[in-house]
Amino acid sequence: MIKVGIVGATGYGGRELLRLLGGHPEIQLVAAASTSVAGKPLAQELPAFQKIFDLDFETFDADELAKRCDVVFVGVPGKASMTPVAALRTAGARVIDIGPDFRLKNTDDFNRYYGAKHTATVLLEESVYGLVPWYRDKLADAQLAAVPGCYPISALLPLRPLIEAPLGNTPVIIDSISGISGAGKTPSEGFHYPEMNENMKAYKLGVHQHTPEIEQELLHKLQVQFTPHIAPLTRGILTTITLRPEKLFDPAPYYDCYTDEPFVRVLGADRLPEIRYVRASNFCDFGWYVDERTGNLLIISAIDNLMGGTAGMAVQCMNIMFGLDETTGLRWGGMAP
Amino acid sequence: MIKVGIVGATGYGGRELLRLLGGHPEIQLVAAASTSVAGKPLAQELPAFQKIFDLDFETFDADELAKRCDVVFVGVPGKASMTPVAALRTAGARVIDIGPDFRLKNTDDFNRYYGAKHTATVLLEESVYGLVPWYRDKLADAQLAAVPGCYPISALLPLRPLIEAPLGNTPVIIDSISGISGAGKTPSEGFHYPEMNENMKAYKLGVHQHTPEIEQELLHKLQVQFTPHIAPLTRGILTTITLRPEKLFDPAPYYDCYTDEPFVRVLGADRLPEIRYVRASNFCDFGWYVDERTGNLLIISAIDNLMGGTAGMAVQCMNIMFGLDETTGLRWGGMAP
Amino acid sequence: MIKVGIVGATGYGGRELLRLLGGHPEIQLVAAASTSVAGKPLAQELPAFQKIFDLDFETFDADELAKRCDVVFVGVPGKASMTPVAALRTAGARVIDIGPDFRLKNTDDFNRYYGAKHTATVLLEESVYGLVPWYRDKLADAQLAAVPGCYPISALLPLRPLIEAPLGNTPVIIDSISGISGAGKTPSEGFHYPEMNENMKAYKLGVHQHTPEIEQELLHKLQVQFTPHIAPLTRGILTTITLRPEKLFDPAPYYDCYTDEPFVRVLGADRLPEIRYVRASNFCDFGWYVDERTGNLLIISAIDNLMGGTAGMAVQCMNIMFGLDETTGLRWGGMAP
Amino acid sequence: MIKVGIVGATGYGGRELLRLLGGHPEIQLVAAASTSVAGKPLAQELPAFQKIFDLDFETFDADELAKRCDVVFVGVPGKASMTPVAALRTAGARVIDIGPDFRLKNTDDFNRYYGAKHTATVLLEESVYGLVPWYRDKLADAQLAAVPGCYPISALLPLRPLIEAPLGNTPVIIDSISGISGAGKTPSEGFHYPEMNENMKAYKLGVHQHTPEIEQELLHKLQVQFTPHIAPLTRGILTTITLRPEKLFDPAPYYDCYTDEPFVRVLGADRLPEIRYVRASNFCDFGWYVDERTGNLLIISAIDNLMGGTAGMAVQCMNIMFGLDETTGLRWGGMAP
């Protein structure tokens, strides 16, 4: 049994991690740290886990966690994981960070898009970007894995194989629609139920922090126009990618690389994904349409932002880091309905 | 009092028309025709209108309707209005058609996108495209108004003023997200509540019938890549337009034309609309973002597809056709929440 | 034109009032007071009303409002209207309060259920309970109308006519399910979209403040077991009433009183209401089932909590107080869909 | 590995079973029978299970299934399982039926409430009612388990322990609210998304088929007034039980029987469940309120109708029937959000 600790379990990414860890047959949750609720029983703070987890939240103590845990997941908000991750690494723990702090290699981009100075740049070199299909080998030995952002996962899985294709110079248009869990657990006017139910909106046009992350993982070969939207559902990201290639091409051969990927499902031409088929699963589904009339290539992808887009990918990283079957605890079809 | 008839009142567009007509102070509903439920009380078939309307559905009879009505709204499905509209016009009735049959001037486009031969082409010349801000003068005397499609309204109100701007040749990317009422009243697996709740999908990539309608009303100066999506809400269309101008420009001056439009609200740069502010209203709200980094211009618009996108625009057409204050019966702010 | 002022327009009841007032043909909104946003344009604070209302929020000033307004609506939270209503009455204004402070005649009940001492008890005598069908005559001359609570409206319209029936002594079971707008506009963990979407819960068992209001308006002839529930929708209250009469009886004759009520729709035996048919309307629909097997009488009622359950009833009160046709500005069928 | 077959996998209960079976570490799905889609790949018909299950639907053949499977789940609609279950039992298969046909021991009740004659009454004696906490011992050897209905599970888990309490003769009021997945997969006007979103309704007052099932499992000591409601969410049942005891009592001691139940969580007095804490889990949560004012005892319970209310309970039955740890494949906390 792998001994697992978690830091920041009360956020949405953290709760989804707990849900997956509760059902994972090869791990044992030995510690859950949370500054705000230290000392309280986990199952009192998170009633969904009554009769699943029987431990108390504890104060964050990097040495203590490093001693008791084989791996520590960190699920604190953006900009807040630099410090605890650095402490955990210093104490010798293997860390899987589901936040954004160790994804961007370029600290200028981090500073610009997150509006904060990076305080643990020394760890950026060892940090492995946890997009499993593209970093599987590096993850096996990783001491620090940075789980990708939810939007980037939905965009990169279909786009990364295409960077060798004749895509031209027009920026890629990425219009994503996210469920509201992506906005996190903090109540606000905009996500108060009666305001957001039956509502839709776009936000952070041109300045969303996932833009440089996507461009980095496309190896800076494509510029990205990323426009995120919010629709009234809890889970799911639907991403519509519009490419303007120099010359239309069939993308199918580029996706042969995914044939044996356990959680990437390439639907093919003229077949489109839906959130219902990936909900509460670790899958990314995508299909495409080649528009002869306009000369554009359209790709649509779907993930569950909390599972396939965060916690499931994190558990898959863990499985690889500890030599387990990659799919352990993750073999769930979409929850439809 | 204007005497109003309605043909095909049981669809979603028709029901919204009835809702608006019930509250309209200057009209009287004198006839409602429906083949499927002829003879039954309207308020039995549509319980929402008990104690509002006290008349029975009748069999469609063009001469009868022309005799009793000053204007007849037609709200039957696409391809099904050609015949009744032609009969009504022959009988001398003024007609407002909320369906698509009389929007496209190019019958080849109609045939291709609707998969049917147009059988009343002679009426296409007199048909006035009912996009009020752009056809107000023609509507005053119109005998036949073709209310625009919901997606086109959301795209054309922001795009039409820009056709004189330096937009270049790259196709305009229009990614729209619609509520499910846009799919109509007929039950199907895909729109069964447990399948569509918490779901999202794209559909009809490259072939949606609103594509030629948008291009026609942009005077064929722009090619359009229109990708419609469905999200789990009942009403609303959020449209995201990505333009790649030859050279970035400030769109604000182009929108001076809307200053006095009663139902177009130009929010300005860096201000974005939300469905909640237009729900159950006749408004179209839009704002934009000029992306210096990528060179793109982004515009986001929002409408209520059933009211501002269909029935409200239809009533506005009627108000103009009969010399009423354009806003009569339509002065409703957004229903938020 | 009746000159209308509003105090506390930013809450959900207040916004719905604004929506109805914007479309009301016989009134003019001349003042909107709000402590928190005084000085700001109403349409900036409430973007749904851009191009509908062109006035600024002002600081509350009772004399000023009394001078400029024929009637002032007060839409502040419970316990917060005692002071401004008293000031407005002293200044001579006619007042329609959509909050709870002037509904309960028994101040002990107020103190117990609201946890606050009533500071304007002298007004309780003149206050008229604004349940139109039962207080129409008194409302005509009312200087202060207290609009009923939303749950009470849904329960009292079906129950009040039955108080002369042989109902016995077993407490009436009232299980109501409300949309979330009933919880008000203040964001909280429990009504954060991802927490409340796909969620349901009961709350305030045995202690909800609408219990004494219902019992008062049943003239204390029936004890009430009121259990409110929350379901994931924005608007609507569905109320299920289970009565255990001494002897089963047909309730139909008791409802003859509603034949000419413009906004009460008695569906009859074995016909049940749905929220969709009353949404965004002023109607209360109800039907019933006489269960011979158990000896119980079941009644189901439906309202839109914000319109028929609050703001619509308030406007109906105003129409009566000013001698207008009662239905002015309120003749809207249910918004379905 | 236990070899599992499934008959009728395309319904909502069947799909949830497939979801749970896909993640169950001790079973292998060897056959899926479906008349309507025989011959087609399961993952084509149910895209949620691509890369999870790689088998084709086959025609129902009882002997074939009995030969290849250790156990067969049957998930066909009510009244349709009598025939295939009888055939499977004749062929020697152990069967777990998630439908209603083998729950009621009294065939008169079956005939009356289901409107059909029971054609396999001989199996009613061997059929074990699969309410695990109350039939665990019998299930160990069961050849035929009849998984309880979803509403009954939500009502019986809190009520069954109380049958020895001084409850008196007044019928128990059970007002349940269900998500829409309970209505099954067949599209209809009433459950078309735009009709049911933002809607609520009650149905089948006094005649719902779960009434006799609940009364049977309360050993006919209590009469039940069961009123089901539908709210706009996909999964979940919230049940509100109002009891009128002869004399108020503390129910806590009656619930000691559940201390070690893995999936029953007794919250205690004044603590109420919510759907979010049981969603996508096998748990039933309940709490209560003793109302000194009225003399009533109120209990609120929550389950996920598809998992804890159907497929999870079915898998728990299987685990018991095959000597596995009862919680295998079911140790999932609530999915919140």
Contact (CB<8Å) D337/A15:
yes
Per-residue pLDDT of chain B (337 residues; tens, 9 = 90+): 999 999 999 999 999 999 999 999 999 999 999 988 999 999 999 999 999 999 999 999 999 999 999 999 999 999 999 999 999 999 999 999 999 999 999 999 999 999 999 999 999 999 999 999 999 999 999 999 999 999 999 999 999 999 999 999 999 999 999 999 999 999 999 999 999 999 999 999 999 999 999 999 999 999 999 999 999 999 999 999 999 999 999 999 999 999 999 999 999 999 999 999 999 999 999 999 999 999 999 999 999 999 999 999 999 999 999 999 999 999 999 999 9
Contact (CB<8Å) C333/B53:
yes
Does the annotation mark D257 as catalytic?
Answer: no
**pLDDT of D251:** 98
Nearest residue, CB atoms, B227 vs list A223, A274, A298: A298
User: Which chain A residues are closer than 8 Å to B175 by Cβ?
Assistant: 173, 175, 240, 242
Distance from CA of B51 to the nearest CA of C (A): 7
Phi–psi pair at D160, nearest 5 degrees: -55, -40
Which residue in chain B is spatially nearest to A175 when comparing CA positions? B175
**pLDDT of D35:** 83
Distance from CA of D331 to the nearest CA of A (A): 5
Any idea which residue has 């069999």 for tokens? B59
User: Which chain D residues are closer than 8 Å to A182 by Cβ?
Assistant: none
Contact (CB<8Å) A180/C196:
no
End-to-end CA, chain A: 33
Distance from CA of C239 to the nearest CA of D (A): 9
Distance, CA of B319 to CA of B303 (rounded, Å): 20
Nearest residue, CB atoms, A199 vs list B195, B242, B276: B276
Contact (CB<8Å) B205/A289:
yes
Other Cβ atoms less than 10 A from the Cβ of D25: the count is 12
Other Cβ atoms less than 10 A from the Cβ of C157: the count is 29
**pLDDT of B35:** 83
* CB of A178 closer than 8 Å to CB of C191: no
pLDDT tens, position by position, A30-86: 999 998 899 999 999 999 999 999 999 999 999 999 999 999 999 999 999 999 999
User: Which tokens sit at C301?
Assistant: 């009622």
**pLDDT of B104:** 98
Q: State the amino acid at position C98 in one-letter form.
A: I
User: Which chain D residues are closer than 8 Å to A50 by Cβ?
Assistant: 265, 277, 283, 285, 333
Contact (CB<8Å) B234/D12:
no
Contact (CB<8Å) B52/C181:
no
Contacts of B320 (CB under 8 A, 6+ apart): B132, B136, B139, B140, B326
User: Which chain C residues are closer than 8 Å to D337 by Cβ?
Assistant: 194-195, 197-198
User: Which chain B residues are closer than 8 Å to D233 by Cβ?
Assistant: 197
Q: In 3D, which of D49, D11, D17, D53 has the Cα closest to residue D315?
A: D17
Stretch C227-244: mean pLDDT: 98
Q: Per-domain residue ranges for chain C?
A: 2-148+308-321, 151-304
pLDDT tens, position by position, B230-278: 999 999 999 999 999 999 999 999 999 999 999 999 999 999 999 999 9
Fold of the domain spanning B2-148+308-321: Rossmann fold (3.40.50)
* CB of B146 closer than 8 Å to CB of B123: no
Question: Which listed residue (D69, D150, D284, D317) is catalytic?
Answer: D150
pLDDT tens, position by position, A162-203: 999 999 999 999 999 999 999 999 999 999 999 999 999 999
Angle between helix axes D210-217 and D107-114 (nearest 10 degrees) is 150
Any idea which residue has 């919510």 for tokens? D274
Contact (CB<8Å) B201/A238:
yes
Say what the ipTM of the complex is. Answer: 0.97
Contact (CB<8Å) B278/C25:
no
Contact (CB<8Å) C202/D244:
no
**pLDDT of C199:** 98
What does the DSSP assignment read for C77-88? PTTSSHHHHHHH
Mapped onto helix, strand or coil, the DSSP state of residue A72 is strand
* CB of D5 closer than 8 Å to CB of D32: yes
**Residue of A12, A15, A192, A306 for testing the chain C interface, max C β-carbons within 10 Å:** A192
pTM for the model: 0.98
User: Which chain A residues are closer than 8 Å to C150 by Cβ?
Assistant: none
CATH class of A151-304: alpha beta
Distance from CA of D35 to the nearest CA of B (A): 19
**pLDDT exceeds 90 at position C36:** no
Contacts of D220 (CB under 8 A, 6+ apart): none
**Residue of B193, B198, B234, B235 for testing the chain D interface, max D β-carbons within 10 Å:** B193
User: Which chain B residues are closer than 8 Å to A272 by Cβ?
Assistant: 201-203, 205
**pLDDT of A36:** 86
Angle between helix axes D12-22 and D312-321 (nearest 10 degrees) is 50
Nearest residue, CB atoms, C225 vs list D195, D294, D302: D294
Please count the residues of chain A. 337
* CB of D89 closer than 8 Å to CB of D62: no
Nearest residue, CB atoms, A180 vs list C12, C188, C193: C193
* CB of A315 closer than 8 Å to CB of A2: no
Contact (CB<8Å) B181/D191:
no
